């Protein structure tokens, strides 16, 4: 027997309702729905799973406000449209892009009740999926062995105050790991201050790090608080530490030993309490041998070490990360998140990702802008030409079969993210076989 207590409540928000909507509200309330209503400018953050907007001509004149409403509320939306508005240019495209479903006015009440019930069920499924995704740190998506190991390592070392050296290729998420360490530390309510040591002119680095007093040098018209002092109580992240000039390395070493600084041009000693995280893509051991990096500073910073894994070695994480970036950029671009076509997924899995996660984020952002249909294609990602021009490497048959299985699984889940039965039917396998393959390839 169905456990009624486990059925989630059906909660609907009516925005800018009309008389027809008031009748619908009364009928839905009688059927057990929780129904609220609000004007467009007063929506806020509703405790609802589904929203219905009654579309007005005024909304078409300010679509930016409607899009902001949909993005900011984080719920699924349907729209009630007067018949005469459907014929206006661009309205059908706007509805198809931004809404889960639409209903014409006046309502066919029996059909509207059924359709809203289905939409609310879909909203519950998507909410659960978003909640599962939202539990992961931004860069730590995925079920690969590397992602799991990284999450465990961060959980273990984040609560300590020991310095951490984060090493890996450019674009592989070193700053995101630093932010994750800060977010899981006892200092998470205090500042996180990031400094790119390779991006600051050499003559300004000392002032940027340690600050200066008024009149310390030409152009110093007032006191400046440095990055180290700004991070007091929190976390200081020194990115590209391998690019720090030798003279500044000595000053930084003294700070790490004493946890005290002096502003440029100042005489007083200032005690600060910060946790220092550093990152580099440089081979520091080679830099030490060549005299470009101080060995004593290396040992001060490299108490704990985290190494990022290149994206090309985290193939199981490519698709989850792409979906995350699509969700992340939808508000910036002003479009609903799109799914990826089978060809696009195949292209992403075959690409070598020399720019790592940063390249993936940029390509997904590009795809969100350029996609014309409901799916992002390989050409939108700028990967179509690479598919046709690349000559596949000679690999074992087992490797090719495994790659084909993974691509087929991702394609099926992309089309049926919340229906394992349909995904299995599309692949022409049983559901037990589908679950076995998902476990084998560490998907979900």
- 289: CB partners within 8 A, 6+ apart: none
**pLDDT for 234:** 92
In the predicted model, what is the mean pLDDT of residues 190-207? Answer: 84
CATH numbers and ranges of domains, the chain:
4-134 (3.40.50.2300), 145-307 (3.40.50.300), 312-440 (1.10.8.60)
Chain segment 59-88, per-residue pLDDT in tens:
888 888 888 777 767 678 888 888 888 878
Q: How far apart are the first and last CA of the chain?
A: 29
**pLDDT for 165:** 95
Chain segment 340-351, per-residue pLDDT in tens:
888 898 899 899
Degrees (nearest 5) of the Cα angle 211, 295, 256? 35
In angstroms, the CA 404 to CA 389 distance is: 19
> Which structure tokens are listed for 181?
């360490």
Running DSSP on this structure, what letter comes out for residue 302? Answer: -
**pLDDT for 276:** 95
Other beta carbons less than 10 A from residue 4's beta carbon: 6
What 206-212 contacts at long range (C-beta under 8 Å, 24+ apart), as own/partner pairs, is: 206/248, 206/251, 206/264, 207/264, 209/248, 209/251, 209/252, 210/251, 210/255, 210/261, 210/262, 210/263, 210/264, 211/261, 211/263, 211/264, 212/263, 212/264, 212/265, 212/266
Residue 411 near residue 425, CB atoms below 8 Å: no
Residue 144 exposed, middle or buried by CB count within 10 Å (0-12, 13-18, 19+): buried
**pLDDT for 237:** 94
């Amino acid at each position: 027997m169905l456990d009624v207590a486990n059925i989630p409540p059906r909660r609907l928000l009516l925005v800018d309702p009309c008389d027809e909507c008031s009748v619908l509200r009364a009928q839905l309330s009688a059927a057990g729905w929780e129904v609220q209503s609000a004007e467009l400018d007063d929506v806020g953050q509703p405790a609802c799973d589904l929203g219905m907007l009654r579309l007005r001509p005024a909304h078409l004149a300010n679509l930016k406000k409607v899009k902001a409403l949909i993005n900011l509320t984080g719920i699924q939306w349907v729209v009630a449209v007067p018949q005469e508005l459907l014929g206006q240019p661009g309205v059908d495209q706007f509805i198809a892009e931004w809404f889960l479903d639409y209903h014409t006015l006046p309502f066919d009440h029996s059909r509207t009740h059924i359709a809203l019930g289905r939409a609310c069920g879909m909203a519950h499924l998507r909410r659960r999926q978003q909640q599962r995704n939202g539990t992961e740190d931004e860069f730590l998506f995925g079920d690969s062995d590397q992602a799991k190991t990284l999450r465990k390592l961060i959980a273990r070392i984040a609560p300590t105050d020991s310095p951490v050296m984060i090493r890996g290729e450019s674009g592989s998420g070193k700053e995101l790991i630093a932010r994750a360490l800060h977010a899981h530390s006892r200092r998470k309510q205090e500042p996180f201050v990031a400094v790119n040591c390779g991006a600051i002119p050499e003559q300004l680095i000392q002032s940027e790090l340690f600050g200066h007093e008024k009149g310390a040098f030409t152009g110093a018209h007032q006191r400046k608080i440095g990055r180290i002092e700004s991070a007091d109580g929190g976390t200081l992240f020194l990115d590209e530490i391998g690019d720090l000039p030798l003279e500044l390395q000595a000053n930084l070493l003294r700070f790490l030993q004493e946890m005290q600084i002096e502003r440029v041009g100042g005489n007083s000693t200032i005690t600060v309490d910060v946790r220092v995280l550093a990152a580099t893509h440089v081979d520091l051991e080679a830099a030490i041998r060549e005299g470009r990096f101080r060995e004593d500073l290396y040992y001060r910073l490299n108490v704990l070490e985290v190494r990022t894994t290149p994206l090309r070695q985290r193939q199981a994480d490519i698709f989850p990360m792409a979906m995350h970036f699509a969700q992340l950029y939808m508000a910036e671009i002003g479009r609903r998140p799109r799914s990826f076509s089978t060809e696009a997924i195949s292209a992403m899995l075959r690409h070598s990702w020399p720019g790592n996660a940063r390249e993936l984020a940029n390509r997904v952002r590009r795809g969100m802008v350029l996609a014309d249909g409901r799916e992002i294609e390989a050409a939108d990602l700028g990967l179509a030409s690479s598919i046709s021009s690349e000559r596949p490497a000679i690999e074992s048959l087992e490797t090719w079969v495994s790659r084909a299985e993974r691509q087929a699984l991702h394609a099926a889940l992309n089309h049926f993210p919340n229906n394992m039965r349909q995904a299995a039917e599309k692949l022409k396998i049983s559901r037990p076989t589908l679950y076995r393959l998902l476990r084998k390839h560490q998907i979900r």
